[in-house]
C-alpha cells in the first residue's frame, strides 16, 4: 500500500512538471538552435539561443532589428495545436523533429512599410538602413520592392548573400513569429 502511495505521489509530481514545462515552452521561453549561416556574423551555425515567447502569445509586433524565430511555412495557417506538438518535450515522444522549419531572422519591415533593395542596399520607406550587423554587402541584383501587408513582417538574415528569407519565402504572418531572441 505504501509503495502505491509513493508511486502516485511521484506520478503526480512528474505530471505537474510536464504540464508546467509545456506552459513555459509555449508561452514564456523556449530554446532553439541556429541551423545554417544565414545570421552570420551575429549568430553562428548550431548556436543555442532562447526565444521570449510572451510577446508572441500576446500578439505583439516585434521591433525593427529584433531577431525573431519564425515558422517558414508561410503558406499555411498556424494554431495553438501547432505550438503544442512542436514543443521540444512533445517532439521527444513523437519522434517528430521539425527544427528545419524554424528560421532565425532579423525584422526589417512592419505592416505598411515599403522595403526596397537597390544596388545591394536595403531601404525602408525610402530611407537607406544603416546595418552594422550584416556580414557583407549584398551582391547587386535587380532592384526589388515590396509593401508589407497588414498582420505581416518582412525579415532578412544578416548574411544577405546566404539567407532564405522574405525575399524568397514571402511576408511572415505575425502568428508565424515564434518568439524574439533574448539570450545567447
**Please, what is the end-to-end C-alpha distance for the chain in angstroms?**
48
Is 137 noted as a catalytic residue in this protein?
Answer: no
All three cell numbers of 183: 539570450
Given CA atoms 26, 29, 35, 40 in this order, what sign does their dihedral have?
positive
Q: How far is Cα 171 from Cα 72, in angstroms, rounded to an integer?
A: 10
Choice among 55, 72, 105, 163 that is catalytic: 105
From 128, 93, 91, select the one nearest 108 (Cα to Cα): 128
- Considering only CA atoms, which of 51, 18, 180 is closest in space to residue 106? 180
Q: For the chain, how many residues are written?
A: 184
Q: Look up 77 and say whether it is catalytic.
A: no
In sequence order, what are the residues at sequence separation of 6 or more whose Cβ sits closer than 8 angstroms to the Cβ of residue 52? 28, 29, 179, 180, 181, 182
Which of 38, 72, 163, 166 is catalytic? The answer is 38
Q: Are 70 and 170 in contact (CB under 8 A)?
A: no
Residues classed as catalytic: 38, 105
Amino acid at each position: 500500500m505504501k509503495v502505491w502511495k509513493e508511486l502516485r505521489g511521484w506520478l503526480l509530481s512528474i505530471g505537474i512538471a510536464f504540464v508546467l514545462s509545456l506552459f513555459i515552452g509555449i508561452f514564456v521561453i523556449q530554446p532553439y538552435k541556429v541551423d545554417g549561416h544565414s545570421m552570420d556574423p551575429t549568430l553562428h551555425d548550431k548556436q543555442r539561443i532562447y526565444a521570449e515567447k510572451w510577446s508572441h502569445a500576446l500578439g505583439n509586433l516585434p521591433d525593427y532589428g529584433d531577431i525573431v524565430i519564425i515558422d517558414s511555412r508561410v503558406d499555411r495557417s498556424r494554431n495553438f495545436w501547432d505550438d503544442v506538438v512542436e514543443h521540444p518535450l512533445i517532439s521527444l515522444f513523437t519522434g517528430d523533429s521539425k527544427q528545419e522549419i524554424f528560421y532565425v531572422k532579423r525584422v526589417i519591415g512592419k505592416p505598411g512599410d515599403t522595403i526596397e533593395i537597390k544596388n545591394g542596399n536595403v531601404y525602408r520607406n525610402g530611407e537607406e538602413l544603416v546595418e552594422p550587423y550584416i556580414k557583407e554587402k549584398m551582391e547587386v541584383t535587380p532592384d526589388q520592392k515590396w509593401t508589407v501587408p497588414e498582420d505581416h513582417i518582412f525579415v532578412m538574415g544578416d548574411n544577405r548573400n546566404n539567407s532564405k528569407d522574405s525575399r524568397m519565402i514571402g511576408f511572415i504572418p505575425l502568428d508565424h513569429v515564434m518568439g524574439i531572441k533574448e539570450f545567447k
